[in-house]
């Protein structure tokens, strides 16, 4: 799936570097946000002693994926925006591992793991396509 930066621009003259300011209109942000919500729900059943451990780490990583996309939208250049998309992709990889750890520890069942894992892989693909399309245009 290729995402052209131009599809997300309200207008090409709307801001200094031509980057859209409203992250909520990005499909990749929406999918990442939906994933973070699912992670929060899934971690509610983790053991209480993981409250300051894996629960906190996985939730932080999950939020970071959509958070970095939003933060990148507030930057002034396409280069900075792209850098934040790359950071978001790294957070997604980190969260993907933490999800596997939670599954291996028996904190989530196979169905939940597969659903969450497929969702974050989709987000990572969307991010990589978006980063690639931005890089090719600039």
- pLDDT of 53-105, one tens digit each? 999 999 999 999 999 999 999 988 889 999 999 999 999 999 999 999 999 99
- Residue 112 and residue 102 in contact, taking contact as beta carbons nearer than 8 Å: no
When pLDDT is averaged across residues 17-34 and rounded to a whole number, the result is 83
pLDDT at 9 over 70: no
pLDDT at 7 over 60: no
The pLDDT, as a whole number, for residue 6 is 38
Alpha carbon 123 to chain centroid, angstroms? 6
Share of the chain above pLDDT 70, in %: 85
DSSP per-residue codes, 29-84: HHHHHHHHHHHHHHHTTS-GGGTTTHHHHHHHHHHHHHHHHHHHHTSSSHHHHHHH
From residue 91, alpha-carbon distances to 17, 37, 123 in Å are 25, 15, 11
Q: Coil, helix or strand for 109? A: coil
pLDDT at 113 over 50: yes
pLDDT at 1 over 80: no
When pLDDT is averaged across residues 104-123 and rounded to a whole number, the result is 97
- Domain parsing of the chain, residue ranges: 5-26+50-137
pTM over 0.85: no
Mean of pLDDT over the chain: 87
* pLDDT class of 20 with cuts at 50, 70, 90: low
Contacts 24+ apart (CB under 8 A), 14-19: 16/76, 17/76, 17/77, 17/78, 17/81, 18/78, 19/73, 19/75, 19/76, 19/77, 19/78, 19/81
Q: Was domain 5-26+50-137 assigned CATH 3.30.1490.20?
A: no
pLDDT at 107 over 80: yes
């Amino acid at each position: 799936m290729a995402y052209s930066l131009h599809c997300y621009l309200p207008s090409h003259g709307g801001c200094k570097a031509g980057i859209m300011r409203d992250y909520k209109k990005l499909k990749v942000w929406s999918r990442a946000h939906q994933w973070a919500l699912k992670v929060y729900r899934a971690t509610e059943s983790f053991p209480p002693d993981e409250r300051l451990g894996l629960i906190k780490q996985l939730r932080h990583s999950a939020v970071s994926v959509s958070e970095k996309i939003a933060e990148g939208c507030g930057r002034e250049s396409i280069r900075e925006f792209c850098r934040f998309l790359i950071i978001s992709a790294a957070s997604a990889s980190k969260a993907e591992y933490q999800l596997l750890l939670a599954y291996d520890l028996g904190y989530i069942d196979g169905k939940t793991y597969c659903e969450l894992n497929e969702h974050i892989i989709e987000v990572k693909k969307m991010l990589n396509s978006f980063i690639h399309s931005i890089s090719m245009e600039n």
